[in-house]
Amino acid sequence: MSEKNQPPTAKRLRDARKKGDIARSTELVDALVFIAVIAALATQAPNFIALLRELFDVMFEAVASRDPAAAVHAVLARAMRAWFMVGIGIVALGGVVAAAVALAQTGGLVAFERIMPSMDKLNPANGMKQMFSMRSLINLVKMTVKTTCLAGAIWALIHSSLDAPLQAGYLTPAGMLAVTGRMLSLLLGWAAVVFICFAVIDYVHQQFEYVKKLRMSTEEVRREYREMNGNPQVTSRRKRMAREQVFDAMQDRVKGASAVVHSSRIAVALQYTQGSVPWVSLRAEGETALRIVELSREFLIPTVNDPSLAEALFDGVPEGKYIDEAFFDRVAKLLRWARGKEETPAP
C-alpha cells in the first residue's frame, strides 16, 4: 500500500465536508461557554450576592421557625426565585454561545449522512476499535492533564488563601462571604486560563489530525486528477484538435476576406460582396493578429498596414457585424485599392 504523504486536495476536503467530516474542537466550545458564563456572573455579581444574602436570611429564619413546613416552603420559594432570576439566564447564555461556536466551526453545515443509520455504527467490533483507538487515548490524556491542572490550581489557591483568621473561624458571615467571593473569582480566573490554553492546543491538534486523516497517496492524487480532467493524453489530443479546428476556421475566414487591414498589434479582415455593406469577418490582436497577417499574405489577400483604421474597426465593429456608416469612405477606398490590386496581373 502506497504511503499517504500528499496533502488533501480541495475536492477531497469538499467531499469530506459534504459527509459531515470536518475539524471541530469540543474544548473550544467548553472554553468559550465557560468564559461567557464567568462574564455573565461578573456582570450580575451584585444581584447574585443580594439574592444569596436574601436566601441565607430566609434559611436562618427557617432554622428558628416554629413552623417547619412554612419555613421549608419559604426557603424553596426564595431558591426558585434566585434560580429564575440568575440561573436560567446563564444557562440560556451558555446554550447560545455553544450553538454559535459550533455554527462557526461547521459553517452551518447540515450533513444528514452523519445521522443516517448505518450497520458500521452498530457493529460492536467498530465500537471496540473506537474505544481503544489512538484518538480515544489522546482524549483520555488531555482530560487527565486538564483535570490535574485544575486540581493543582484549586489546591494552590486554597493553600495560599487560608489565613489564620479563616482557619480559626473568627470571621463573620459577611467576612466569610467576601473571602469566598475573592477566592471564587481567583479560582474562576485561573480555570478560564486553563480552559483557554487547552482549547488552543486542542484546536490546533484537531486541525492537524483532520489534515493527517485526509492525506492522499500519489496514486490517489493522480486518480482524482484523471477523474476530474480525464486522461492527460486524451485531454492533450482534444486540446490539439480544438486548436486545429480554430486554426482551420481562421484560415477559411482569411481566404474568404476581401482585404486585411492591420497595425503592429491588431488585424481586421473585411469581406465584401457586390450590393452589400462590408462586414468584419475576423479580427484579433497579439500573436493571433500576426498569424492572420501571415495567412493573408500567404493566400495573396490584399493587406495594408493602416493602424488608425485597424484600431477604429477593432474598437467600433464586433466580429461578424457590418461596418458603421462612419467607416464607409475609408473602407470603400481600401476595397477599391484591394480590387485594383486583385485585377493587376502578376508580372
Give the residue, 347 or 155, on which the prediction is more confident: 155
Range scoring the smallest mean pLDDT among 15-19, 27-31, 92-96, 112-116: 112-116
Of 215, 248, 276, the position where a domain reaches its end is 215
Is residue 32 domain-shared with residue 169, that is, in the same domain?
yes
Whether 295 is covered by a domain: the verdict is yes
- 81 plus 198 within the same structural domain: yes
8, containing H or E segment: none
| Same domain assignment for residues 181 and 66 | yes
Report if residue 15 sits inside a domain: no
345 pLDDT tier (thresholds 50, 70, 90): very low
Are 37 and 162 contained in the same domain?
yes
**CATH number of 285's domain:** 3.40.1690.10
For residue 297, which of 337, 259, 253, 344 has the smallest C-alpha distance? 259
Query: Quick one: average pLDDT of 67-93?
Result: 74
Both 165 and 268 in one domain: the answer is no
Of the pLDDT bands very low, low, confident and very high (cuts 50, 70, 90), residue 347 is very low
| 197 lies in the same domain as 269 | no
Q: Do 52 and 147 lie in a common domain? A: yes
User: Angle between the 307-316 and 328-343 helix axes, to the nearest 10 degrees?
Assistant: 120
Which one is predicted more confidently, 243 or 116? 243
Residue 243 has pLDDT above 80, yes or no: no
Q: Using one digit for the tens of pLDDT, what is the confidence trace for 104-131?
A: 877 766 655 555 555 555 555 555 555 5
Supply the pLDDT for residue 343.
Answer: 46
172: confidence class by pLDDT, cuts 50, 70, 90: low
* pLDDT beyond 80 at 302: yes
Residue 346: predicted pLDDT: 35
**Among the three residues 159, 182, 215, which one is the final residue of a domain in this structure?**
215
Tell whether 229 is covered by a domain: no
- The H-assigned helical ranges of the chain are 10-18, 26-43, 45-64, 68-82, 88-106, 119-122, 124-131, 134-161, 164-168, 173-213, 218-229, 232-255, 287-298, 307-316, 328-343
Is 168 a residue whose pLDDT tops 60? no
What's the pLDDT score for residue 129? 57
Instruction: Please indicate, yes or no, whether residues 126 and 169 belong to a single structural domain of this protein.
Output: yes
Q: Is the domain of 32 the same as that of 79? A: yes
What is the count of structural domains for the chain?
A: 2
Which of 215, 249, 264 terminates a domain? The answer is: 215
Q: Assess contact for 22 and 16: CB atoms under 8 A.
A: yes
**140 falls within a domain:** yes
CA dihedral (133, 134, 139, 145) in degrees, to 10, reads 130
> Is residue 305 included in any domain, yes or no?
yes
The verdict on residue 311 lying in a domain is yes
Same domain assignment for residues 114 and 209:
yes
Query: What is the structure's pLDDT at 138?
Result: 78
Whether this model's pTM surpasses 0.75: no
Residue 109's pLDDT is 67
Between residues 318 and 6, which one has the greater pLDDT?
Answer: 318
Residue 60 lies in a domain: yes
Q: Are residues 245 and 170 in the same domain?
A: no
Q: Which structural domain range is residue 104 located in?
A: 20-215
Shared domain check, 310 and 210: no
For residue 9, tell me if it sits in a domain: no
In tens, the pLDDT along 23-68 reads 888 888 888 998 988 888 778 777 777 777 777 777 766 666 667 7
Which of the two residues, 260 and 113, has the higher pLDDT score?
260
